[in-house]
Structure 1
């Protein structure tokens, strides 16, 4: 591991001035950064572009004078010329830390990429060598930290004395603070302006030895880890237990805390399958033990995820829960094929339904909806696709109605097939392994299906 040429620290500027010499784009970039502080920001330049009106800064459109550095904590030079040279000499003569924009060799300090959740600040610096890398790292950290985290950190400060009086044990007090800053319930309360009340209640519960569990019903999306929501990522990092379906890829499950318990409740060869009643009992028991439970479901938990039954069990047990939406497979399939499932003058709506177990009345209803211009997205129908297509035609839908099938939507193994109801009825296709979405409707023709295997005229299997 190499050694640092700089020492990272937080520099106090409260009640002082930050002077920026320059009036152009580079000066504006520094203004965006330093106006996040409580310092008085002063802009000095003979040529000031009208860029600073939206910021709390003091602008002087004139030549720089050495006296401009009176009371200054930091100096930025963001232009060239005689004024810039005088500013450099004056700053060095007074021992004021100096930053010359884009000239690392003349800088006493570098401006890092900052993740700001005041009073929490995370700074990322590459000592001026790779600012683009610093920005990329910043984006990843931004994704990890809840928007209200700074306000919750402020709550921790306001409760410090009360926490010390109620919880004498140091490790127990640390556990309380961990619960406070990772609690989605506190985050929601803070967004309603009720953060202090909720945090005080949590403190009292912790001091009394109460451990309140919670279940987060999280949509894992179609399978690619980069399609997981930011909220889902944060909660997976906070969960004590991850209860996941078999369809959720291990790469998504592994985004949870390393020490979190993992329980697979899905069907897999050689593995006992949990019934829905057993899953309900499991998550209730875990939450009653005071654990934070991530119930991880493929796609969106509210779309064919049987979340309603789990919510009912949690409500009956009087337990806290939260729904975290995910990208449903039908939406991922539409994105994979650029299929506009609603299209002006073609399709005015979009129906998601499960083909498995559908009775004749449902199929008749679907056929009428498709005839009226809606797009059908049928889940769990791969093995009976030919039969369903035949019954839709029998109920009046044209055999020439476009059909598109996406298997493993949102994943690197995604495969596509296209044709119409007639070609699907012929049943020549052997579809790839994996969950499938079957699109039916005129809007399907507007998607990108040029490279899709055709549903008629050949027998094939895409691995």
Structure 2
């Protein structure tokens, strides 16, 4: 281990920074966040440092460096573009047993600044021991994506209850068990939802009543249109804490692989003419698993509130008294239109967009066909592979031009995405030439596909 990771309390402690450029500014901004008393030595200050100085957040003590400036200093930062001066500062500081950081010169450092993830009071530092700082920053970005924003607030509240927990539970194992339940249970979820008063009440109940408040919760999560790059940050965070995932057939393996490794995965997908799990069975499973105290992620393709029947599942959870959260996703229409270069609205072609489903219950049907045939709007049809012919006929009968451009997109946003371009009177024929699942886009904006298409592996047929 080249460096021992330490976290230093710099509040009101003097720190000498030699240098007045942008590199020094970045260090000073961090030092200010830590509450240090910053003393600057520099011939001149850059605009950013001048602004910081005017706010009295640093003290400009001299224009030239002198070794006596190291007296009564806690930490030294050498941030000049003069290598000889930086080396001199390092030697002077080291001879006084002071910690010194020399920017971009690890051989002249007795301490280094790590890549920082700040969820105060939770702080995570990542270091490559000065060998590959860019790699350390990349690792920080990946880890930061996994840490929820409420982590720091949860830690602050826990700090307020620390003495109470010590008074109530005498053994270390009891205290650990208490906090393990809190950080993985209702308390954590309430903080995430911003229900701080309820979260504090939960901690009090756990302390005073010694009851097991480890009831489960349902997370309704949108997995996006398929490409794992389009998964939201919050969805990734929730999938990392799930005990069980109930997922649809349209959720890609790439997305599933981002979930917690030891989580149970249950496919409850429903496909046209081959329902593997009924909606009633899914509702029953969600409630049953949550009542067992498990964190259940219901993972749906696209967005759960856009033809995903997410509302029905939450109604069942509400009736059963199960707490729930909703994590929206990029709905299929938005993701696929972006990946095919077909903007759903455009000032010259479309002033509105309608989303409809081509899959209905037996007693349902579309009745407002005149509203769907307006030439200045885009029509997006989910699950329309079986009913494409009937939909095209109804649109044409009700006045939509049979030469209206249409796009049939298979596996949109995936590497093997395919796009067929044609006209409304060809819609049924084209849907049989491309594998499901598909999305249909109807309207003049489809003509922009040839100009704006950017994603690989698209196919265009007249």
Moved more, 291-300 or 191-200: 191-200
- 1:185 matches 2:186: no
Partner of 2:132: 130
TM-score, normalisation: structure 1: 0.88
Selected match of 1:378 from 376, 381, 389: 381
In structure 1, list runs of 5 or more residues that go unmatched: 457-463
- Displacement of 1:361 in angstroms is 10
- Displacement of 1:111 in angstroms is 1.4
- 1:319 matches 2:316: no
Selected match of 1:412 from 415, 428, 437: 415
| CA offset digits 1:187-240 (Å, max 9, x no partner) | 345x46647635534634882123221100011112222211111111111111
Distance 1:211 1:382 in 2: 44
Let me know the Cα RMSD of the aligned residues: 2.8
- 1:216 matches 2:219: yes
Does the aligned pair in 1 maintain the 2:247–2:269 contact within 8 Å?
Answer: yes
Change (3 A) 1:135 1:452: closer
Selected match of 2:28 from 15, 26, 31: 31
Does the aligned pair in 2 maintain the 1:351–1:376 contact within 8 Å?
Answer: yes
Does the aligned pair in 1 maintain the 2:375–2:443 contact within 8 Å?
Answer: no
Change (3 A) 1:358 1:438: farther
In structure 2, list runs of 5 or more residues that go unmatched: none
- Displacement of 1:397 in angstroms is 0.3
Please give the secondary structure, in 2, of the residue aligned with 1:400.
coil
Change (3 A) 1:428 1:241: closer
Distance 1:274 1:296 in 2: 14
Question: How many corresponding residue pairs?
Answer: 450
Q: What is the correspondence of 1:437-452 to structure 2 with a 5 Å cutoff?
A: 437-448=439-450
Partner of 2:297: 294
- Displacement of 1:243 in angstroms is 1.3
Change (3 A) 1:11 1:261: same
Does the aligned pair in 2 maintain the 1:377–1:438 contact within 8 Å?
Answer: yes
Q: What is the correspondence of 1:2-401 to structure 2 with a 5 Å cutoff?
A: 4-52=1-49, 53-54=51-52, 56-60=57-61, 62-81=63-82, 84=86, 87-168=89-170, 170-171=172-173, 173-182=175-184, 185-188=189-192, 191=194, 194=197, 197-198=200-201, 200-201=203-204, 203-204=206-207, 207-267=210-270, 273-357=276-360, 365-371=368-374, 373-401=376-404
TM-score, normalisation: structure 2: 0.89
Please give the secondary structure, in 1, of the residue aligned with 2:240.
helix
| CA offset digits 1:378-426 (Å, max 9, x no partner) | 001113323321221111001121111211112122111111112325x
- Displacement of 1:39 in angstroms is 1.7
